[in-house]
Structure 1
Amino acid sequence: MDLESIPGVGEKTARALSDLDDPEQALRAGDVATIATAPGISQGRAARIARGAIRDEHDDPGGFLATSRAREIYREVLGLLKDRTVTNYAAARLETIYPSPCRSRIEEVREFACDALERDPDPDVLEALDGVEPLRESGDVRVRERCLATMDAERYSEAREAIPELSVEVVEDAQGLAELARGYSTVIALDESFTGVTIDGDVQVRPDALETPAEVVPERPLAFFARNRNRLRAAIAVHRVADLETDCDLDALEDGLSRLEDDGTVAGDEELDRLTTAVDDLDVAAGAAESVANDHLREAIREEDVTIEGADLLSLVERGAGVDSLLSRELADEYAAAVEAAREHLIDALDLDTGEAEIARRAFSDEPTFPVERDEDAVSRLREELTAAKERRAGRLKRDLAADLADQRADARDLVHAALELDVELAIARFADEFECELPTFVWDAAETAGTATGFTIEGGCSPLLPEPLEEIDPVDYEVSGVALLSGVNSGGKTSLLDLVASVVVLAHMGLPVPAEDAELRRFDDLHYHAKTQGTLDAGAFESTVREFADLAQGGEGSLVLVDELESITEPGASAKIIAGILEALAENDATAVFVSHLADEIREMANYEVTVDGIEAVGLVEGELEVNRSPVKDHLARSTPELIVEKLATEAGTDAGEATRTNGGEPAADAQAEPLFYDRLLEKFD
């Protein structure tokens, strides 16, 4: 795939995408999360790039949504789908599903939607999804106590690229390696020629180090898993609650994550915790041990009965007069006991093992002195020993844990991706469930219809764009083949019906279920939906509108045209003539069209062919409110609201006149007869 051939992808973006492990796969799959990991690409931009790549893959010319109202319908139904997502990823991923005229793209999404409709939107699954997010890269990881060493300049470049987390040093010989060992806790020599060389310090000869980076720098995989620990745990929970299939060993991954701290260090190892605490507490513990020794010695001195009183002796000692000889001669046993108490306190406080305890004992000298002070050199040696032991332990644990987790990185990515894709599927399933949707039947080619024109058939459709609850919406049946005029009373649902048709067509061409009990439609090339204009257009706007319909009339084969009261663009008489001419051209061009108009009768008279007129019929007026059959009656010019009102007035006037006749002894009253005659005259005008 030529990345720059994708709509909206230039040279700079193509370079950013090429940094991905498999950009073509990510683009074909619409994997917004992966695309968004490319440098400088946001999740919203990733969705647009994915859409462009899908169009390129299916040779989709674009432009299916040919008018602003058609685009509004798409954004509204897309918004309903996105409202039913839990994760930001799913909302962005739905942006890659768009209405297309290409059969291959429609069928691709229909296959996905079929699987989605099998999903159960369990509240527990939705709750578990709340913590799932796309995985993040670990970012810059720097390890300063370790380095790589080589004598080869080419090997040096390879090492810097393969393991950027470690410093890479060039050495000339074993002496250079020895100098590095004095500055780093671990030196990893990459040249086989160093094998067998004995050097003080931790020097490892690893010619294969660049092929096994997780062993050399386990911080790399650990940083990735530490940064994504909560996201992975959430994905694990989703898989368990939703019972999703996965190649990932969930127990092993969960165990590995439980052994990892947020900063990438190993958790849950008692020995490492002991050593870490000992290093951190060493200075405090040594100071406390000094206090123990001095407190012990002070008490001994106070109680000691020698040549001078104990209190005077204490005063003398604290002034430093003859302390060493005095302690050695008079208080040798007490001093030894005080020092031993200090040593035991230090060993116990730091929980030192036998070898460490031996070093710790040297922190307090057997030579009498007061006050007792720790030997800083001995304490430093203890610190070095504890730190080295801690780093050795931590290094081994990191390598072991990294070895357990490194091989699970790909499975972990798949685990999270599957959970995020489940959210997309569940959004479709929830939308279909809440609006009682079904996958429509497509008539792909004219040959499939055995020569008959096919537009669309909707049975039991309910517009998802209406603000009322679904149970309060009257289901609508409507079928159109070719071009039709739709008549009906005001507030009878004509515009809502156009919105329903547009929603069904848009969702069907997205490859998704539609809000109807059953629907069949042809594959349309584009959708032209012209909403009702507000007021008469000026000359320039009128000319622009006519030009638009001229282009459509010339190249509108395979188009669906929905127009709401086009007569409002100019004077009623001229509008009827213009609409009649547009309908003639569309009919000749094999387009499918529905024109809502209050001038249906006038348009029919002016057209040079028999125009189909369908009507949303009002049953009548009930307590001043229209009672309407929302499903259009085929080949029927619906009565207008004024006609129904006049008919109601005529009926009521006739009833009143009859009552007046009866109360007048059977003789009709002149004024009672006049009113029904007036209403009857008005009714005749509607015939």
Structure 2
Amino acid sequence: MELEAIPGVGAKTADALHELDDPEAALRRGDVAAIASASGITHGRAVQIARGAVRDRHGDDGRVLATDRARELYRDVIGLLKDRAVTDYAETRLETFYPSASRSRIEEVRSFVADAMEREPDPAVLEALSGVEPMESPGTVRVRERCLATADAERYAEAEAAMPELSVETAEDVRDLSELARSYATVIVLDESFAGLDVHGDVRVRPDALETPAETVPERLLARFATNRDRLLAAAAVHEAADVDPPCDLEALRDALSRVDDDGTVIGDDEFDRLATAVDDLDAAVGTAESVANDHLRQAIRERDVTIEGQDFLSLVEQGARVDSLLSRELADEYDAALERARDHVVSALRLDPGEAEIAKRVFPEGDPTFPVEHDEETVSRLRNELSTARDQRAATLKADLAEDLSELSDPADDLVRDALELDVELAVSRFARDFDCTLPTFDRDRGFRIVEGRSPLLDVSYADAEPVDYAVSGATLLSGVNSGGKTSTLDLVALVAILAQMGMPVPAAEARLERFEEIHYYAKSQGTLDAGAFEATLREFGDLVEGADGRLVLVDELESITEPGASAKIIAGILEALEDQAATAVFVSHLAREIREAADFPVAVDGIEATGLEDGELRVNRSPQKDHLARSTPELIVEKLSGERGGAFYEDLLEKF
């Protein structure tokens, strides 16, 4: 797919889209969330790009909605669908559906909708969907205990770009590597020339390290799963509640997620926990061990009666002996016992293994007794380094092992979340179809439309209370009827059915058939008589209309209000003549049906929404237009009512004039 061939996508936007892992797949799916994740692209812009990709794929010029009123009704339709979505993703995704004149696009959506209408909107599924969001990219993780090393400048730059999580160091020889091994727990060498060299420390020669990120920097994958833990668990719950086959083993996914903390740290490993705790508690353990030794010696001195003969004391002093030396003769065994207790405390408190315990014994070295007992700081530092290195290497091993498991789940996890979000789109369509008793319409080559038991969900009354309407039109037609009889609502219903049908969506009717319209023109009722300039502009607009392409649906509400009735009738008659010549489907609501029919040079069809009478001052109306029937006006009904109630020549004469 040539990205710049998509309508509205220039070079800058194409560059941003190329940042995505698979821009063509995202565009093909209409994945607005993925498109919007590209730098500089808003959600609104992502919708436009997704629509542009659809139009490009189906050769669709996207001009079906030709007037403001038609576009307004489309926004109302989208609003009804979005109201039935749970996730923000589904709301945005629904905006990628639009009325199309392309047969292939309509059929593509109809196939999707047919499956969606079979979905059962189970409350448990809707509840589970509330926790699902598109996968989020975590921020860059900094890994300080591991580095990459190379002697090649080009490889150095490549490594920095490929793995920003790790430090990249220059290493020209074994000495450089040895220095790095003292600073990092693990050194990963990118140059094969270093293979076979013996370097102290954890130094690994891995020329393929940049091509295996899950092994080299497993923190990247762990961070992604940690960041999206709640989304993944919610998506898993959606699949289970909906009884939909998931793209991965959900138990394996949950097990893997349970092994990584929110910050990407691997959890649940006893050995790592032991080493981490030992590093953290080392200084405290050594300090406590000193106290243990000194408390033992203090108690021993209190309990021991030490006697030194005068000659012995003089001899010791003459030899320069210290008090410690004087004590060592009497307390040597107790001093050894104190050291042993201190060593045992460090080993037991930190749960050291035999190798670590050997180092710990030298924290309190043997030698001349001293009081108070003190530790050897150099040995403590060595023990700390040994424990820290073991901890970091253990963490790296755990991360690598977990990343290996997660790498197999990575793509399926993306699919898991995406499928859950797409299920929400399907359920929104299903709920719309169920709430408004919808059916999929049929398209044929016959001119016009036919609607059976259609009800508009946009009326001010509840949908259940809306009266069903049957209406069919096959050419240029006038729709007459009393005021407040439902003429405008009928136009809205026709436009609504046509818009939904050409979106590929179900329509609120028991049955519907229509031709595939190239354009939908809907002109709302004008607000009062227009001045000369506005009148001229309106005529220009209708002049452009009748010179347009064939295969259009034209709906006009009381155009006669733009000027005086006599002129209006002639203008409307002329417009209808032109539309009839082009085989357009048109419905013009007008109170001048008789005058327009007389002015037209072809037999204009006139349908009527007939009022059956007045009851307590309220009209009783048959909302379905009657074919080839000029409906009576409200004044005529009132005159008829008065004539029947009061009689007299006056009312009878008035009635005859109608």
Displacement after TM superposition at 1:623 (Å) = 2.1
Stretch deviating more after TM superposition (528-537 or 335-344) = 335-344
Per the TM alignment, residue 435 of structure 1 is displaced from its structure 2 partner at its CA by 0.6
Q: Distance in 2 between matches of 1:415 and 1:326?
A: 77
- Partner SS, residue 100 of structure 2: coil
Q: CA deviation at 1:131?
A: 1.4
1:427 aligns with 2:419: no
| Aligned CA distance change for structure 1 residues 548 and 372 (closer, same or farther; 3 Å) | same
What's the counterpart of residue 91 of structure 2? 91
Between 201-210 and 381-390, the greater mean CA deviation after superposition: 201-210
Cα-Cα RMSD: 2.2
Q: Is residue 186–residue 393 contact of structure 2 (8 Å, CA) maintained in 1?
A: no
For 1:406, the equivalent position in structure 2 comes to: 407
What secondary structure, in the 3-state scheme, does the structure 1 residue paired with 2:614 have?
strand
What stretches of structure 2 of length at least 5 have no aligned partner?
309-320
Match for 1:678 among 628, 646, 650?
A: 650
Q: How does 1:14-53 map to 2 (within 5 A)?
A: 14-53=14-53
In the TM superposition, 1:583-662 aligns within 5 A as 583-654=576-647
Q: How does 1:525-604 map to 2 (within 5 A)?
A: 525-604=518-597
Q: Take 1:35 and 1:340, find their aligned partners in 2: how far apart are those partners?
A: 66
Equivalence for 2:150: 150
Partner AA of 1:633 in structure 2: Q
Query: Which position in structure 2 is the counterpart of 1:8?
Result: 8
The one-letter code matched in structure 1 to 2:468 is P
- Read off the aligned partner of 1:115 and give its amino acid letter: D
Tell me the distance in 2 between the aligned counterparts of 1:682 and 1:336: 131
Shift of 1:469: 2.1
Q: In structure 2, do the counterparts of structure 1 residues 284 and 648 end up closer, same or farther at CA, with 3 Å as the change threshold?
A: farther
Match of 1:394 in 2: 395
Report which stretch shifted further, 572-581 or 321-330: 321-330
Q: Name the CA shift for 1:619/1:342 in 2 (closer, same or farther; >3 Å).
A: farther
Match of 2:188 in 1: 188
Instruction: State the distance in 2 between where 1:288 and 1:637 align.
Output: 105
Q: Comparing 232-241 with 101-110, which one deviates more in the overlay?
A: 232-241
Residue by residue over 1:105-162, the C-alpha shift from the partner in whole angstroms, topping out at 9 and shown as x without a partner, is 1111111111111111111111111111111223323323222223344444443444
Report what 1:234 is aligned to.
234
Q: Tell me the residue number matched to 2:486.
A: 493
Checking the alignment, whether the CA contact within 8 Å between 1:248 and 1:415 is kept in structure 2 is yes
Report the AA paired with residue 181 of structure 1.
A
Q: Is the 8 A contact 1:189 1:207 kept in 2?
A: yes
Task: Quote how far apart the aligned CAs of 1:544 are.
Answer: 1.0
Corresponding position of 2:416: 415
State the Cα deviation string for residues 288-329 of structure 1 (Å, max 9, x = none).
Answer: 333444444444445555569xxxxxxxxxxxx966346534
Amino acid at match of 2:652: D
| Alignment partners' CA distance in 1, 2:45 and 2:190 | 43
Question: Partner of 1:280: helix, strand, or coil?
Answer: helix
- Residue in 1 that maps onto 2:166: 166
Range moving further from structure 2, 15-24 or 75-84: 15-24
SS in 1 for 2:20: coil
CA offset at residue 214 of structure 1? 1.6
SS at match of 1:532: coil
CA contact (8 A) 1:218 1:399 kept: yes
SS in 2 for 1:633: coil
Structure 1 pair 383–182 and aligned structure 2 pair: CA distance change class (3 A): closer
Unaligned runs of 5+ in 1: 309-320, 655-675
Partner amino acid for 1:479? Answer: A
Structure 1 counterpart of 2:612, one-letter code: V
Q: How far off is 1:618 after superposition?
A: 1.2
Return the letter of the residue paired with 2:423.
L
- Whether the 8 Å CA contact 1:60–1:100 is kept in 2: the answer is yes
Matched, 1:523 2:516: yes
2:476 is matched with 483
Q: Secondary structure at the match of 2:651?
A: helix
Please give the secondary structure, in 2, of the residue aligned with 1:492: coil
* CA–CA distance in structure 2, aligned partners of residues 94 and 131 of structure 1: 19
Distance 2:461 2:289 in 1: 78
Equivalent in 461, 465, 469 of residue 454 of structure 2? 461
CA distance in 1, matches of 2:252, 2:228: 16
CA distance in 2, matches of 1:618, 1:240: 54
Q: Tell me by how many angstroms 1:556 deviates.
A: 4.6
Amino acid at match of 1:251: E
Equivalent positions of 1:312-351 (< 5 A) are 324-325=324-325, 327-351=327-351
8 A contact 1:93–1:424 mirrored in 2: yes
Give the alignment of 1:295-306 within 5 angstroms. 295-306=295-306
Instruction: Indicate the residue corresponding to 1:74 in structure 2.
Output: 74
Given residue 502 of structure 2, which amino acid in structure 1 is its aligned partner?
H
Separation (CA, whole Å) in 1 of partners of 2:511 and 2:280:
72
Q: Cα offset for 1:67?
A: 0.6
- Alignment check: 8 A CA contact 1:555 1:589 kept: no
Amino acid across the alignment from 1:28: R
Which residue of the partner structure matches residue 311 of structure 1? none
Query: Is the contact made by 1:323 and 1:369 (CA closer than 8 Å) also made in structure 2?
Result: no
Query: Equivalent residue of 2:480, what SS?
Result: strand
**Residue in structure 1 matched with residue 360 of structure 2 by the alignment:** 360
Structure 1 pair 326/539, CA: closer, same or farther in 2 (3 Å)?
farther
Distance 1:359 1:177 in 2: 26
On the 8 A contact 1:327/1:369 being kept in 2, the answer is no
| Separation of aligned partners in 2, 1:642 and 1:326 | 131
Separation of aligned partners in 2, 1:361 and 1:225: 42
Cα displacement (A) at 1:576: 1.6
Structure 2 SS opposite 1:639? coil
Identical pairs, percent: 69
TM-score, structure 1 normalization: 0.89
* 1:592 CA drift (Å): 0.6
Residue deviations 1:530-572 (CA, integer Å, cap 9, x gap): 1112111121111111111111112252111111111111122
8 Å Cα contact 1:616-1:630 kept in structure 2 = yes
What code does the residue aligned with 1:573 have? G
Please give the alpha-carbon distance, in whole angstroms, between the structure 2 residues aligned to 1:565 and 1:323. 118
Does the 8 Å contact 1:327/1:335 carry over to 2?
A: no
Displacement of 1:213: 2.5
Q: Is the 8 A contact 1:99 1:511 kept in 2?
A: yes
Q: Distance in 2 between matches of 1:368 and 1:683?
A: 132
Contact 2:150 2:169 in 1 (8 A): yes
1:160-193 CA distance string (max 9 Å, x none): 4443433333433323322322332212222333
The TM-score with structure 2 as length reference comes to 0.93
Contact 1:556 / 1:591 at 8 angstroms: preserved in 2? no
User: What amino acid does structure 1 have at the position aligned with 2:346?
Assistant: L
Cα drift, residue 516 of structure 1: 0.6
AA aligned to 1:513 is P
> Which deviates further from its counterpart, 277-286 or 502-511?
277-286
Instruction: Say if 1:620 and 1:174 are closer, same or farther in 2 by CA, change over 3 A.
Output: same
User: Whole-Å Cα distance in 2 between the matches of residues 158 and 109 of structure 1?
Assistant: 44
Describe the shift of the 1:177–1:377 C-alpha distance in structure 2 as closer, same or farther (beyond 3 A): closer
State the SS of the aligned residue for 1:594: strand
* C-alpha separation in 2, matches of 1:19 and 1:302: 77
**Matched AA of 2:267:** A
**Alignment correspondent of 1:110:** 110
Paired position in structure 2 for 1:314: none
CA distance in structure 1 between the aligned counterparts of 2:325 and 2:645, rounded to whole angstroms:
133
Partner of 1:200: 200
Specify the alignment match of 1:255 in structure 2. Answer: 255
Q: Following the alignment from structure 1 to structure 2, what is the Cα–Cα distance between the partners of residues 55 and 326?
A: 99
**Is the Cα contact below 8 Å between 2:246 and 2:416 reproduced in 1?**
yes
Once residues 646 and 300 of structure 1 are traced to their aligned partners in structure 2, the CA distance between those partners, rounded to angstroms, is 126
Other structure's SS at 2:375 match: coil
Which deviations, in whole Å up to 9, do the C-alpha atoms of 1:386-434 show, x marking residues without a partner? 1111111111111111111112211211111111111111111110010
Distance 1:587 1:265, change over 3 A: same
- Per-residue Cα deviation, 1:338-366 (whole angstroms, up to 9, x for no partner): 44444333333323333323333333345
